Structure 1
Amino acid sequence: MKYQKWFFNQYLKHFQDKRESGGFTLIELLVALILAALVITPLLGFMITIMDNDRKEQAKATSEQEIKAALDYIARDLEQAIYIYDADGIAAIRSQLPKNDQQTNYFPVLVFWKRQYIPKAISVGTGASAGYDDTYVYSLVAYYLIKGDNADNIWSKTARIGRFQLSDGYGKTTADVTSTRDPGFQIFDPNNLYTTLRDKMNNWTKDASATNTPSILPLVDYIDQTTVSDNSAVSPRNCPTGMQQVPNYASGATGASVPDTNLKTGSFYVCVQSTAKITVAEVHLRGNAYARIENNENQIKYSENKKIYFPEFSTQVKGRGFLFTK
């Protein structure tokens, strides 16, 4: 029994000595920390780079999707066009369009008349045979390049595109037509005394008695705001022969609609060919994905080394062209 007690005491004493002598020295801890830093720091840098690249790629992909969606929407709209205004035409009716008093921030790049299909617009029949007929109305549509006018900080620091539409009314009675007509709408007069279709359309005027016309609604944000004075590489490419560029950037162009310097971005322009029988437009859009990841206004302008973050897309659309007059 005494032997067992002695053995147990010796074991406890040995365990206590071992416990007291265990652990790491300060030198060992410092070496471990240095080794950990040497291993972890490159890994953290690698992870930060991956996350930053992923953020940039996500911004780029989002901008590409939005630009394509906006271009598809405009193309579907243009398929119903019966007449598209060139630069001279926009200059002629500019005073009849919204935001004419804010020309440093708003410019109507794409303006056209369309014959819009309205399904089930007019009730017909009575009782069991009651139903609805489809109809068509004329509408004036304008797509604006907008830059600035962002006092509430709702929009990005880039440019954006807005859409304006003024439509005629429809119905079985005069009262029905009046109640469904947009305030300010007035049809172009196909029987006026002007000799050509172009002259007829360029002399359109809105209903001056209306005081409340529809608003310009936003279509897409993050359109490149870089002006041609910032970087000449953003200038529009030459339009095909027979087509006119809108907006017209030529300085001192006689009668043509030239945008304010603030709006000469080259990020939204069209090439137009519009006659009595041919209505075709090429639409060009350029986005700015870099503005999604950078707030410094001087850093979000177009440059060659950031070109991939400024996606460009274009499409050509042929309208209906139903106005077969001189």
Structure 2
Amino acid sequence: MNPLKLLFIKQITLFRLKQKCDGFTLVELLVGIVIATLVITPLLGFMINVMTTERQEQAKANTEQEIKAALDYIARDLQQSVYIYDADGINKIRQQLRRYGDKNTFFPVLVFWKRTFLSKESSTILKDNTFFYSLVAYYLITEDNATWSKAARIGRFQIRDGYDSSTETDNKDNPRDKAKPDEGFQMFNLQGLGNLKSKMNQWTKKSEDYTQKIVPLVDYIDQTIINNTTNPAPPTCTIGQQVPKFDEKHDNDDAVATGNVRTRGFYVCVDSENTVAEVYLRGNALARLQNNNIDFNESRQTYFPQASIRVQGNGFLSAK
């Protein structure tokens, strides 16, 4: 055979062999893709699950911390209370409080009078120790508001009498002379017949409209509507009366929760006679993770942290 032809054939054979060794066939590529998919998909799912669980646990921890902080704040407030309204009292004075017309989205769960002590050492001009009274109301709020989450929140409302440290320089002999009470504030009246509860339940605001706002205290409070299956009403209080009431048969009572405030997210048990209140809160950590409210059920109850506290107020008032 011609040497040149033989060399050419040999080069062609080597070239084909090299091409076969340097690449993959279509079948080999498809098999590789299938194997990679089978390996990577479970790993990707595992990573997504780990990241989701981490986010949920962080949301749970944040919610637990905020629930505890809110309870501590309410407890410090309640320790100064001299009278706490039970369900009967809420029914009597509900129309005197803010947002009465918004019963389905604003409910005053915890309402009390407190006396704040002010020592003469805390002021440069006070000759004697003094104190002032305030009416405080903590609301459960389920109003849809773009600023806040789709869960419920708790807001605080306060009006107080005439003492204001900013007016001390107006009259050094009696700083209260120049100070004015908050708009709508009126002192309770303990004169006349009846016990302390009946007298406090007769309180009415002044004719002026309130200018004070309900200030948000904590967000991400559970607003799952109470039902007989997945979210039953809380058990009967061991002390005093439950506020709000959850008796649908008496929904014309201003102490009964209606509409979206019919939830276990925030309720109290009140013994007005002994100035004692038990406060219960339930948060919704899952509402932090998406832009809608997720209802409570037993399978995810760990992400609905609950906490409670029992507080004894000062109880200085007397009907005599």
1:123 corresponding residue in structure 2: 124
Structure 1 spans left out of the alignment, 5+ residues = 1-12, 125-130
Which of the residues 137, 142, 158 maps onto 1:165? 158
CA distance in 2, matches of 1:284, 1:295: 25
Query: Residue 284 of structure 1 contacts residue 315 of structure 1 at CA under 8 Å; is this kept in 2?
Result: yes
Equivalent AA in structure 2 for residue 144 of structure 1: Y
1:6 aligns to what? none
> What percent identity do the matched residue pairs reach?
51
Equivalent position to 2:139, from 129, 139, 144: 144
Matched, 1:204 2:203: yes
- For 2:318, give the aligned amino acid: F
Partner of 1:324: 318
1:284-299 equivalences in 2 (<5 Å): 284-297=280-293
Moved more, 81-90 or 167-176: 167-176
Q: CA RMSD in A?
A: 2.6
Aligned to 1:228: 226
Please, which moves more after superposition, 88-97 or 171-180?
171-180
**Residues 1:237 and 1:173: Cα distance change in structure 2 (over 3 Å):** farther
- Deviation track 1:89-141 (CA, whole Å, cap 9, x = no partner) reads 011111110001111111100000001134666432xxxxxx88663210000
In structure 2, the CA distance between the partners of 1:60 and 1:245, relative to structure 1 (3 Å rule), is: same
Q: Secondary structure at the match of 1:237?
A: coil
Measure, in 1, the Cα distance between the counterparts of 2:68 and 2:175: 41
**TM-score (structure 1 length as normaliser):** 0.82
CA distance in structure 1 between the aligned counterparts of 2:62 and 2:105, rounded to whole angstroms:
25
Match of 1:218, as an amino acid? P
Q: Which amino acid is the alignment partner of residue 249 of structure 1?
A: F
- Equivalent residue for 2:278? 282
Structure 2: gaps (5+ residues): 1-10
Cα deviation for residue 46 of structure 1 reads 0.8
Match of 1:249 among 246, 255, 263: 246
Alignment match, 1:8: none
Identify the range of structure 1 (175-184 vs 40-49) with the bigger mean alpha-carbon deviation. Answer: 175-184
- Kindly state the Cα deviation for residue 221 of structure 1 after the two structures are TM-superposed: 1.1
Aligned runs of 1:310-321 on 2, under 5 Å? Answer: 310-321=304-315
**Contact between 1:88 and 1:256, CA under 8 Å: does it hold in 2?**
no
**Which residue identity is paired with 2:224?**
T
Residue in structure 1 matched with residue 181 of structure 2 by the alignment = 181
- Contact residue 136 and residue 156 of structure 2 kept, 8 A: yes
SS of the equivalent of 1:95 reads helix
Conserved 8 A contact 2:184-2:205: yes
Q: Which amino acid aligns with 2:43?
A: L
Preserved contact between residue 122 and residue 134 of structure 1 (Cα < 8 Å): no
Residues 85 and 274 in structure 1, CA contact (< 8 A), matched pair in contact too: yes
User: Quick check: 1:93 aligned with 2:90?
Assistant: no
The verdict on how the C-alpha distance between 1:145 and 1:19 changes in structure 2, with shifts beyond 3 A counting, is: same
Shift of 1:41: 1.6
What TM-score, normalized by structure 2, do the two folds share? 0.83
Q: 1:155 corresponds to which residue? A: 148
Q: Distance in 2 between matches of 1:173 and 1:204?
A: 31
